[in-house]
Amino acid sequence: MATATEFAYLHSTFLTILEKELGGFPPVPEAVEEILNRQGDAAAQPIPDEMSSWLDLLDLGISPQRLRTYGQRHRVPEKTIRLLLRFYVGRNPPFPADRDKVDWLATYLFRMRESEGNRPPGWAKSELQEILKGIAFPTLSAESQTVLSELPPLLQDINDMRDLSQITDSRLLERVRSLKRNVGEEYSHPVVLAAIVNYNLVLGKKFDELLKQALEQAHNLLSSQQISKSFDEQELIWSDYHSNVDALQQLSDWSRTRPPEKEEPVPVQESVVDRQLERLGIDSTREASKLKNRIKELANHLRANPAITSVRVCGTPLPLEVWESHSFQTLFQQREQNLRADFARTVTLALAIVLRIYEELYAYQNAKSLGEQWRKQSDSLFYLLCEGLRLKETLLRLSFVARKSGDPEMAQHFTLTAEKLETNLAKVSELF
């Protein structure tokens, strides 16, 4: 419960954020005026519960994006952030936008703190516990603990990224938004919030670095006039990712056009139905690039964590056989054109297609349920269906070759991979 002093401070903060949109300050009810005028001991007393409704009403005019924009243009004092965090976390029942506001405020606070110097491990968690002291939190559920265990591999994926297109193609941000939703009402628990802040800080640094790199590449390729016709650079830098998806995708596509650096080849075969897909308006080059990036991410992840037996995609675990994991770990060592190399290339491609199906089906179903545009997801799924069907035939053919070559174990693994692929392709074919 807020004191009169805290109420007055929050009231002033909300009006300051809203002043430009309101064109001035609205009339204040007498009961609110009385609280604002309290002095001395009276100002330290808690306000009646029903008076919090006035703050709730003002807050309804402050969207997460408006709060973010205000914070980017005006340095928000730490005292304000602490009070806002307590206000949003302590509100019961919470408003739908509270989650995004808490997420941004906590990250904003610790980004400022981080700039002050190095901090010991766990500093965000301990400081959040201190800020939210007095607010009751239940014991963290097993489901939320499982979700938190999925963040470290994603952080490794982020650190391995070298191009903005790897972020847009991998759907990394959508995957993490899914994880954040999976913690439900426990999002404001200090342990959960500290983990989310850590992820946001790591991603924010990497995103800013790759965005700057992509903008420089765009300026080397195109005129300023061409760029300004596509998006506002300042808006792209300041706004959140989800409000600029199309502009970021355009920028990612431009960054792909630069001369490729020498690197290890990644085994994504050209689809035999590219021309048909092109006639349908599906960009097979972009879709193939997404598969390529997914294979590289998985290979890096499994080389760094060889003992893991599954990967989680949009909250769903995908079990990995030992030989599947080994195929990713040794993928770039397979230089020869032989059956063993074909095994690594086709198995990793098949698993990448399965993971992309998981991601796109989740995004497709989510978009449809929210009434949003789902054409992009539909196009991606159709591409994956075509590529998957082609690859399934290749796997079965290689299974026959392996059996004839006297390697029944490899033949069985080819067949099992084809069956796993077919099971997931069936989910996609139902949509078409």
Rg of the chain on CA atoms, in Å: 26
CA distance 192 to 203: 17
* Contact call for residues 182 and 196 (beta carbons, < 8 A): no
pLDDT (tens place) for every residue of the chain, 432 residues total: 689 999 999 999 999 999 877 777 778 899 999 999 999 999 999 999 889 999 999 999 999 999 998 998 888 999 999 999 999 999 999 999 999 999 999 999 998 887 776 555 456 889 999 999 999 999 999 888 888 888 887 787 788 788 887 777 777 777 788 888 888 889 999 999 999 999 899 888 888 888 888 888 777 766 666 666 556 555 555 556 555 666 667 677 666 544 444 444 444 444 445 666 676 778 888 888 888 888 988 888 888 888 888 887 777 788 899 889 888 888 766 555 678 888 989 999 999 999 999 988 888 887 777 666 677 888 888 889 989 998 999 999 999 888 888 889 999 999 999 999 999 999 999 887
Enter the pTM of the model.
0.63
**How far from 50 is each of 2, 5, 44, 53, 62, CA to CA, in Å?**
12, 16, 17, 6, 20
Q: What distance in Å separates the CA atoms of residue 423 and residue 98, rounded to the nearest whole number?
A: 39
Q: How far apart are CA 238 and CA 247, in angstroms?
A: 13
What distance in Å separates the CA atoms of residue 357 and residue 388, rounded to the nearest whole number?
A: 10
Other Cβ atoms closer than 10 A to 20:
10
CA distance 315 to 121: 27
Would you give the DSSP letter of residue 272?
Answer: T
Place of tokens 């989650």: 99
> Which pLDDT value is given to residue 219?
73
What element of type H or E holds 94? Answer: none
Extents of the domains making up the chain = 272-429
| Distance separating alpha carbons of residues 363 and 357, to the nearest angstrom | 10
